[in-house]
Chains A and B, each alone.
Chain A
Amino acid sequence: MKKRLICLILLITPLLSLLSGCEKTNVTGIEVSKSIFTRAIGVDKSKVDSENVRVTVVAKKATSAKESSPSSGEEGAIVINSEGRTILEAIRKIQSFSSNPVFFGHANVFLIGEEMLRDDVVKAVDFFIRDHEFRYSASVVAVKGASAEDFLISSLASDTFISEKIESLLEGADAVSYSKDRKVYEVFSALSNEYASLLLPCVEAVSTSVKTKDDKGKTDVYLNGFALFKEEKLFDFATFDVARGINWANNDVKSAVMVVKDMSDKNVSLEVITSEAKIKPKLKDATLNVDIEIQIRCNLDEQYSSLDLFSKEGAKYLTEQLNITVKQEVEKAIDATQPYAIDVFNLADKVYHKHPLKWHDIKDNWEQIYKAAKINVEVKSIIKGVYFVIDPIKDK
């Protein structure tokens, strides 16, 4: 009986393949050659209806190796625009006019236009945090002075593809520490924290003076500073020294070049090798004192004077100068944020972890406490060495 059943199944199974039918069997996924691989997504407010969002999707055209079509520039890119009441709606609408299905798993840069930032940043990132197709390791970037769409389109003309360009800028940000990469999951945790302020790295398209052959203006992309948020709305942009001041205190400086004056008032470059910052809040009754201690190790890398700086006195003088410069940067950052109750150093968390019980008493008027808090900055630095040459090149 069992054998007969097996024989029957073995006979019937191959015959089933002959019953083709008219309905399409949809067991396979989407072919890789038929998908559009989104590399960057821009989110803006719609210009038509302020309630709507406008999504710009940028992808690189897939070309076979033999074709010698351009891999960069406007011809090598696919730009798709779509509008909807929500981002998902806008993205789904793309399928109604796009030649190929759009795949978002490779999108690693999310750009948000300034208008959208001023309106509500949560609207722009909620979907990317929630949906399964997007990467948690993608970077979220604020666009300064333009909509994400305009920024994307204007920068497509550059030689490097825009998503790759932004990625490399974010990777290189540590060399000057004027900004800092923010991944989707970091944005998620910052937004879900009631007291901390969100920081987003900020890019800007600047037209260069260099003229191309066809006399078109060329734009360059700059990564500089942070977009500061008060709750979920954009408050202001912090650039250069202010932005680095935030990074110093948040222990986000990996390297930096600090230019200070030596005894003869000539410039000296100090390359920061390591920087360690500690934020120590002290809560007494309802008054908050915060000590920010920063320890810097650096190398002397360039000098214009002919003084022998690599001596006890020279090093002491230079470190003092460096301490003052760094302290000024951090204080500038404090001045730019504390009066407006923007907690860029995540002080609330630090107070909570140090005084978990007291925190419950003060959390309701945290804003006042923070505004009134006294923040002391103390910088200690040490010059570890020079590279190849110790003495000044030019003798007295």
Chain B
Amino acid sequence: MGDNMFEKFTDKFKKKTDSEAANIQPPENTQESISDLTTKNLKAALSKSPDFKFRQIFINDDEKLPVTLVFLDGMVDSALISDFIIKPLFWENKFSEIKSLDEAYKLIEKGVLHYAAQDKADNLDKVIGDIISGQCALVFDELKKAFIFDTKGFEKRAISEPTNENVTKGPKDSFSENIRVNTATVRRSIKSKNLIIENMVIGKQTNTPVSIFYMENIVNPELLRNVKERLSKINIDKLLSTSVLEESLSGNNTTLFPQVRATERPDSFCSCLLEGRVGIIADELPIGLIVPGTFAQYLQAPEDFARNSLISSLTRLMRYILMLSTLILPGFYIAVTTFNPELLPTDLVVSIAGSKQDVPFTTPVETLLMLLAFEVIYEAGIRMPKNIGSTVTIVGGLIVGQAAVEAKILSPAVVIVIAVTAIASFTMPSQDLSSALRIWRFILAIAASIMGQFGLMIGLLVLLLRLCRLELFGIAYLAPMTSSKKNVLQDTLFRLPFSKMKYRPDEMEVINKRRVK
């Protein structure tokens, strides 16, 4: 064993010295290196995939002036390339006077090609990256330089209506897969120079562009620094789903509650930016992420801001009550029917007892079974193809609902309780919150099965303590309910009229606290 380790160590050492040696002594042939920006090197890197196209062009039809056009087929708009790059290279009169590629390069640099999105490049890796992302490279082999033209033009989904967050009054657009479209959508909503969009790339293999959005005159610089730092620390090979960002941003994988708010609506996204939060959008993900997410945010529906503030406040209040009922109703039912029947009105307890006659299962078993059945139907409803979706409803409704009750396997009371719980859970504006509540509902139901009302209370206390402990970037999860300052509840339990919401959320500690003078 000792020998082995020694060998390994010496191996390592050898390798190290080898690489050091390589660094110290550059190859003799400086004429042509594998890191030079030439067509040959590009071909070596890319030609395995047939969708990379290499096209040699002679400027002004002069064979002494060869350049190569490199692009990725399907990612570029061919019309743009032929009309604005190839055509002028052949026909532009200015090229007839030149003798060398060097002159041609300078001419293009001066703007002979009339192309707006044009860039110089002399780094092989950068050019490869650009070509992959849908740009077109004009390579000057002799000079080992290239021009990059933004000729992106691939098929993309049109901006569609949001599917999960609908409003009756309000914008009907949602984020799409294309990051450029998304940045433009946000820019169109916030027409201010203070809206800053910074770019970075995440994913060792996917090289996904990610944009960070913030309002320079509002956001807390400390928060921004932290977000950037955490994003730059992401070490992952693929960014193909939002949870990559969510997990690394929240940095806490032990909680069920969502800490990064995800929205498909640009208007929600923008209003969060104006509260001093930081937005993140990744390419190919039609979702805007917002940090830090606070608990109160997950109970705000976009509809709240489109309706009368009084009506919104009442529905908001109702949503909080429904949140509590979807969380504790099954547990409460178990507790009152097995441990604390004195909490129910006499007539109700007698009718529940009547409905449970001849049912073989105990209430905890019955309730947990029904909760499980609900989860199964819910899961099946998501997975099932749309055209056979109604089968779930029929089988679930008929078999579980009616047949089970008629066969006296389940009592009607428990079916009602679970139905109310299920419907209440669908009123939650955020699916992420809803799933967190689903798990806690089970925990509370089990606690109530063991110790009744006492167990339920212990469970709720544990939940409350956990929520109190949560924080993201120094901002408490339960904020602003944790604050005792005046007017902090303006947009939590109720929504004040906009004229009364003069200050941005206190917990964000923004630079510019007043919304309006």
Contact = CB atoms under 8 A, between A and B. Distances in A.
Interface string A202-240: 000000000000000000000000000000000000000
B356 A32 contact: yes
B374 interface: no
A32 B349 contact: yes
Contacts of A64: 354-355, 357-358
B314 interface: no
A105 interface: yes
A304 interface: no
Interface stretch (B10-18, B147-155, B334-342, B379-387): B334-342
A62 B355 CA distance: 8
A264 interface: no
A27 interface: yes
A29 interface: yes
Interface of A: 27-33, 35, 37, 39, 60, 62-65, 103, 105-106, 108, 133, 135
Contacts of A33: 352-354, 356-357, 359, 411
Nearest to B453: A29
Contacts of B359: 33
Interface string B340-353: 11100010011111
A37 B350 CA distance: 7
A30 B452 CA distance: 11
Q: For chain A, what secondary structure do more than half of its interface residues adopt (helix, strand, loop), or is it mixed?
A: loop
B354 A65 contact: yes
A280 B382 CA distance: 76
A105 B452 CA distance: 16
Contacts of B362: 28, 31
B364 interface: yes
A28 B342 contact: no
A37 B341 contact: yes
B449 interface: yes
A37 B341 CA distance: 9
A228 to B, nearest CB: 31
B250 interface: no
**A32, A35, A60 pick with most chain B CB within 10 angstroms:** A32
Contacts of B338: 28-32
A55 to B, nearest CB: 19
Interface magnitude class on chain B: 20 to 34
B176 interface: no
A105 B449 contact: no
A32 B364 contact: no
Contact of B352 (A29, A32, A108): A32
Contacts of B197: none
Given A28-B362, A31-B337, A31-B363, A37 B353 contact: yes
**B340, B359, B362, B449 pick with most chain A CB within 10 angstroms:** B362
Given A37-B346, A64-B357, A65-B354, A28 B364 contact: yes
**B349, B351, B364, B452 pick with most chain A CB within 10 angstroms:** B349
Given A28-B364, A29-B452, A35 B339 contact: no
**B339, B350, B450 pick with most chain A CB within 10 angstroms:** B350
A35 B362 CA distance: 13
Given A27-B450, A35-B341, A106-B341, 17 more contacts: A28-B362, A29-B452, A30-B338, A31-B338, A32-B337, A32-B363, A33-B354, A33-B359, A37-B349, A62-B353, A62-B357, A64-B357, A65-B351, A65-B354, A103-B341, A105-B341, A135-B342
Nearest to B336: A32
A135 B342 CA distance: 9
Contacts of A29: 338-340, 452
Interface of B: 336-342, 346, 349-359, 362-364, 411-412, 449-450, 452
Contacts of A103: 341-342
28 contacts: A27-B449, A28-B449, A29-B338, A29-B340, A29-B452, A30-B338, A31-B363, A32-B337, A32-B356, A32-B363, A33-B352, A33-B356, A33-B357, A33-B411, A35-B353, A37-B350, A37-B353, A60-B350, A62-B353, A62-B354, A62-B357, A64-B354, A64-B355, A64-B358, A65-B351, A65-B412, A105-B341, A135-B342
A32 B351 contact: no
Contacts, number: 68
Nearest to B357: A64
B388 to A, nearest CB: 34
**A30, A31, A35, A135 pick with most chain B CB within 10 angstroms:** A31
A60 B362 CA distance: 22
A297 to B, nearest CB: 36
A37 B344 CA distance: 12
A208 to B, nearest CB: 27
B474 to A, nearest CB: 28
B339 to A, nearest CB: 4
A133 B341 CA distance: 11
**B340, B353, B358, B449 pick with most chain A CB within 10 angstroms:** B353
A28 B337 CA distance: 11
Contacts of B339: 29
**B336, B346, B352 pick with most chain A CB within 10 angstroms:** B346
B411 to A, nearest CB: 8
Nearest to B358: A64
A390 to B, nearest CB: 44
A108 B353 contact: no
**A28, A37, A106 pick with most chain B CB within 10 angstroms:** A28
Contact of B346 (A35, A39, A133): A39
Given A29-B338, A32-B363, A33-B359, A63 B354 contact: yes
A216 to B, nearest CB: 27
A31 B340 CA distance: 10
Contacts of A62: 350-351, 353-354, 357
A65 B347 CA distance: 13
B445 to A, nearest CB: 13
B413 to A, nearest CB: 9
Contacts of B351: 62, 65
Contacts of A39: 346
Contacts of B336: 32
Nearest to A108: B346
B179 to A, nearest CB: 40
Contacts of A30: 338
A29 to B, nearest CB: 4
Contacts of B412: 65
Contacts of B346: 37, 39, 106, 108
Nearest to A132: B342
A29 B456 CA distance: 14
- Nearest 7 interchain pairs by C-beta: A105-B342, A33-B356, A29-B339, A29-B338, A62-B353, A32-B337, A62-B354
Contacts of A31: 337-338, 356, 362-363
A113 B444 CA distance: 46
B353 A32 contact: yes
A190 B394 CA distance: 62
A60 B450 CA distance: 29
Nearest to A163: B346
Contacts of B364: 28
B104 to A, nearest CB: 64
Given A60-B350, A64-B357, A32 B341 contact: yes
Nearest to A167: B346
A135 to B, nearest CB: 7
B444 to A, nearest CB: 16
A55 B452 CA distance: 30
